[in-house]
Structure 1
Amino acid sequence: MLLAVDDTDSQKGMCTTFLLTEIVKRISLRLADLPRLVRLDPAIPYKTRGNGALAAELVAGHRRSWRVGRMDDSDIYTFQGEEPEEPEMDNVLEEAASVIYDLAELSEENTNPGLVLSRVSPPEDFYWRAVREEVTIDEAVRVLDHIGARYVGVKNSRGLIGATAAMSWKANRQTYELIFYRNHPEPIPHELKLKVARQMDDIPGTFNNVDTANRHAAIFPREKTPVLAGVRSLNPSQLIERATDVMRKNGIAYDRFMLFRTNQATDDHIIRDPHILEEGKSYSVEAAITANPEGRRGSHYFTMARWKDQNIILAAFEPTKEFRKTFREMRPGDLGRFYGTFTNNCLSLEKMEIISTSAIYTRHPPKCQSCGTSMINEGYHSYFCRNCGEYSDLPEYHPIGRGIVPGLYDVPVTARRHLSRPFSLGNPAGEEKLQIGFGKIREAALP
């Protein structure tokens, strides 16, 4: 049985991942697999703070298999077991709904929770739509009704979209995140945050822990939520042991932790080489630079590029920090592959690959063919040697060095989106997959 939930937090507090751990704590069923943290389309205007939905596969199990968390001084394991009976599903729906009413930020206008239970997963197509474009509440409800799901929508029920998407994600590309929680997080000194984040960086497979240049400890969110820290990794096998050891050695207390399977750093939101560019979607396009970049108020930088038969704007906004320095070095004729979200005919960059750079030359008076001294410019196409009186109408052209070379360029850690995959992580095909669960849940056909 799959359980999914979304849209329980707000800009002021709560976190849906924490709420899911509370559901796991209260219900009688066990986890059959790592819970899933699924980030959705980053360009959606009404997205939640973290823009992530949660799903978990549940069983009536008794044979434990893998440690995935800790809560109330007890370890949490995945279990092998049987599909729950119908009465048990009713109990789970009631208990999970009570957690939402107890903990969700329901007083906030833009918090609209959705809770779903189903024996089958929605078609995978729903995930791909939700991670790349806007999906309506009615569309989610039609899918849920088609698969016979049970669901609870609170207020306008927008959370049903994310919950349905989290259920339909098949984890063909995946990473992991170990999240630590503390109900009332006290402020942690900034220098200690940086120290801990650097130590997490030493754990094999972890990424996006710290931005040293900008002194940003990316594993620590703002203290307004129950989330204390989140450590992302390609490799889950050492993550719990090593990360909890770092927290202990630095005296950082936590109430619980949970390991999640995620779609973070997969680039699933990116549509590669589309036929057309549509407003509010994220793309990867190959384009040629046609103008020198220029800065504008707010320390944002823009340039023009030619994609197919269309002129588009490329932008490096202030939060991309030192990435703008590389961006400013582009010149007409440079060819690149650019990644970002397209709005108002502008691709807001989250990374880029420079494929080739154009040669740039400066014009100089030629050397005299007779005496070798530099000739002087007497006007249009006329050069004169003061030593021997020779004339020439041909200048010399000298190549100048470029401040950019072909290569892969990421924005700094402080500016990275959850879904954006840094070039430094390489191709996702070779990543370790923790193969537990997913065995009993079948996918429904498209309605």
Structure 2
Amino acid sequence: MIDMAKADATTTTATPDLCTISQDMILHIGFDDTDSTCGKCTTHLAFKITGHLLKNPDTKFLDYPLLVRLNPNIPLKTRGNGAVCLRVMARNHEKIIQDIRQLIEKESAIGMGANPGVAFLNGGLVPEALKEFGRFAMFDILSKQKAEKIAKENCIRHFTFGNGQGLVGSLAAIGSLEDGDHTFEAIAYRKCKNYGTTRQINAIRVIQYDKRTFPNTFNNYDQNHRRVLIAPHGPDPVFCGIRGESPEVVVSSLEWLQPEEILDGYMVFRSNQGTNMHLQNELKLSGIRVYMAGYVRGKVITKPQTIQGGHVIFGIEDSGGVTGSAAVYEPTGLTKIASQMEVGDVIEIG
């Protein structure tokens, strides 16, 4: 049933001009790594924190909650390597900080693999060093030690639990303004009694709204494998998530879904999902490290060969004259095109 609570953080549809707001009332809140493969969810915790903040009429949200997908290659991620940032205008910052610190500690999967971090930046302007940290977090591997140094140099209060690795994502989320290309996601959450049970989603209705809203929603249904894509399969609190180009289209699609399960609520996030932000960084073959994300531009130097399993292998040379081997895996569906490349073709691999 879609008659459920909504954490209505804001009706803003564009990034606010933080320079026009009283700077000492602005608080940026970033948190990450609150979940584990056994359960919990960072966006669900954001839903709870938002609901808590909205109980105070003096607290105003300056933007949609931000769901920031960081480097997808990081092996420590639980699922989608997503961190969250909330930007609010409020008077009693100290009470908010202590309340959220307690919620993070209470509601995270500490002891089951979660290593949460939460960070608080006072004032409207996000330091350039923090923006750069957020940009690098899209494609590189950043250490907790680097995060602690950034926090200290920019007077950012923070708290960590477990090994505290979540501080990296917390700071990166604050530094990611997402003031360029972005999308939205309406995420619906289950009631606790339903965690771990099968999600009943009407595939026909998913197909209907997918066709009705195309291209303004995406990743709804896999026609080739006849598979619904909007729902996870684990014991986490998420019922489903619908991604699209505007808050209106993702909410209307969620309403069209008409789930029979009584849900706990939903919230709309602004996000970098579907923007290929982690592929904006051009890499050189000589500088690639394991788990980095980005793309390499170069020319094909050997005739592509199809090997066992249907994968395609070929040689590539970048602009610096460094050579290496590249592979196109069969599941990508790109092997037919890759096998037809000729020596001298200029390509980008990401």
Residue identity in the other structure for 1:23: I
Higher relative strand content: 1
SS of match in other structure, 2:247: coil
Aligned to 2:94: 90
Equivalent position SS for 1:112: coil
Match of 1:42 in 2: 72
More displaced, 302-311 or 14-23?
Answer: 302-311
1:269 aligns with 2:299: no
1:295 Cα deviation from its structure 2 partner: 2.4
> Which amino acid is 1:113 matched to?
P
Higher relative helix content? 2
Alignment-derived partner of residue 230 in structure 1: 241
Q: Distance in 2 between matches of 1:200 and 1:13?
A: 29
Deviation at 1:7, TM superposition (A): 0.4
Aligned: 1:16 with 2:25: no
Q: Which residue of 2 aligns with 1:104?
A: 108
Counterpart for residue 221 of structure 2:
210
* TM, length-normalised to structure 2: 0.80
Give the letter for the 1:224 counterpart: P
* RMSD of equivalent CA atoms: 2.3
Structure-to-structure mapping, 1:5-404, within 5 angstroms: 5-27=31-53, 28=56, 29-60=59-90, 84=91, 88-109=92-113, 111-120=114-123, 121-123=126-128, 124-171=131-178, 172-183=180-191, 184-185=194-195, 186-189=197-200, 192-201=201-210, 202-204=212-214, 205-240=216-251, 242-248=252-258, 251-275=260-284, 276-280=286-290, 281=292, 282-288=294-300, 290-296=302-308, 300-308=311-319, 309-320=321-332, 322-327=333-338, 329-333=339-343, 335-340=345-350
TM-superposition CA deviations, 1:223-245 (whole Å, max 9, x none): 421111111112223331x1232
**CA distance, structure 1, for counterparts of residue 334 and residue 262 of structure 2:** 35
- The one-letter code matched in structure 1 to 2:225 is N
Structure 2 distance, partners of 1:142, 1:230, is 35
Distance 1:285 1:193, change over 3 A: farther
Equivalent-residue separation in structure 1 for 2:337 and 2:187 (angstroms): 34
Structure 2 match to 1:67: none
Moved more, 45-54 or 304-313: 304-313
Unaligned runs of 5+ in 1: 61-83, 341-447
> Shift of residue 48 of structure 1?
3.1
Q: 1:145 to 1:326 in 2, by over 3 A?
A: same
CA 1:304–1:200 in structure 2 vs 1: closer, same or farther (change >3 Å)?
farther
Deviations 1:55-109 (A, max 9, x none): 011123xxxxxxxxxxxxxxxxxxxxxxx2xxx2221122112222222111124
Give the conservation status (yes or no) of the 8 Å contact 1:293–1:331. Answer: no
Give the drift of 1:252.
4.8
Aligned length: 306
> Residues of 2 paired with 1:244 and 1:271: CA distance?
31
Residue 174 of structure 1: CA displacement? 1.2
For residues 226 and 346 of structure 2, what CA distance do their matches in structure 1 show?
30
- Distance in 2 of aligned mates of 1:293 and 1:272: 28
Residues of 1 paired with 2:217 and 2:301: CA distance?
35
Contact 1:270 1:339 in 2 (8 A): no
Question: % of aligned pairs identical?
Answer: 26
The alpha carbon displacement at 1:139 in A equals: 1.5
Return the offset for 1:153. 0.7
SS in 2 for 1:131: coil
For the structure 1 residues 318 and 331, does the alpha-carbon distance in structure 2 shift closer, same or farther, using more than 3 Å as the test?
Answer: closer
| Residue pair 1:122, 1:164 contacting (<8 A) in 2 also | no
Matching residue's letter, 2:238 = V
Q: CA contact under 8 A between 1:5 and 1:115: conserved in structure 2?
A: yes
Question: Highest relative contact order (Cα 8 Å, sep 6+), 1 or 2?
Answer: 2
Which letter does structure 1 place at the counterpart of 2:36? S
Larger radius of gyration: 1
SS at match of 1:266: coil
TM-superposed CA distance for 1:11, in Å, is 1.6
1:394-417 alpha-carbon deviations (Å, 9 max, x no partner): xxxxxxxxxxxxxxxxxxxxxxxx
Return the TM-score normalized by structure 1: 0.63
Letter in 2 for 1:126: F
Structure 2's unaligned 5+ residue stretches are: 1-26
SS of 1:12's partner is coil
